[in-house]
């Protein structure tokens, strides 16, 4: 309910990329597992509102970059498992390149004295 986010909030537009990468590395996962994996990799440097992952998953599915299938959770309930599609893999590669370029540019700028 707390509207003003602490520092380390998810940079705008990067959640989709994180989700795609997670699915590429881990295979089929449900929303909770994706959120936990992202938090583990971030080692506490991200304040992820885990719920925001669901609109992101829907967005990615609408774009055809991930697919979903019903499965059963560890608590024996039905839940959707998400996998990355071939189009998603292509998109991930392109976004990774773009991200690396952006970071390199920014670093060069910041290191100028």
Long-range contacts of 63-70 (CB under 8 A, 24+ apart): 63/87, 63/91, 64/88, 65/20, 65/91, 65/92, 66/19, 66/20, 66/23, 69/28
Q: What tokens were used for 34?
A: 């994706």
Contact yes or no for 46/99 (Cβ under 8 A): no
Residue 86 interacts with other proteins (CB under 8 A): yes or no:
no
For other proteins, how many residues bind (rule: CB under 8 A)? 24
Nearest one of 64, 52, 44 to 12, comparing CA atoms: 52
Among 14, 49, 102, 107, binds other proteins (CB under 8 A): 49
Interface with other proteins, residue 41, by CB under 8 A: no
User: Hey, which residues between 56 and 75 contact other proteins (CB under 8 A)?
Assistant: 58-59, 61-64, 73-75
3-state secondary structure of 93: helix
40 binds other proteins (CB under 8 A): no
Q: Does the protein bind other proteins through residue 30 (CB under 8 A)?
A: yes
Does position 35 bind other proteins by CB under 8 A?
A: yes
Binding of residue 14 to other proteins (CB under 8 A): no
Binding residues (CB under 8 A) for other proteins: these are 1, 30-32, 35, 49-52, 54-55, 58-59, 61-64, 73-75, 77-80
């Amino acid at each position: 309910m707390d509207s003003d986010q602490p520092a380390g909030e998810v940079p705008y537009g990067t959640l989709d990329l994180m989700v795609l990468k997670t699915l590429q590395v881990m295979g089929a996962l449900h929303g909770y597992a994706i959120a936990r994996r992202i938090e583990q990799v971030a080692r506490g440097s991200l304040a992820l509102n885990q719920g925001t992952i669901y609109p992101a998953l829907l967005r990615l599915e609408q774009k055809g970059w991930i697919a979903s299938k019903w499965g059963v959770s560890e608590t024996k309930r039905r839940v959707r498992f998400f996998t990355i599609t071939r189009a998603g893999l292509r998109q991930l590669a392109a976004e990774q390149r773009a991200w690396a370029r952006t970071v390199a540019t920014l670093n060069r700028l910041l290191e100028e004295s």
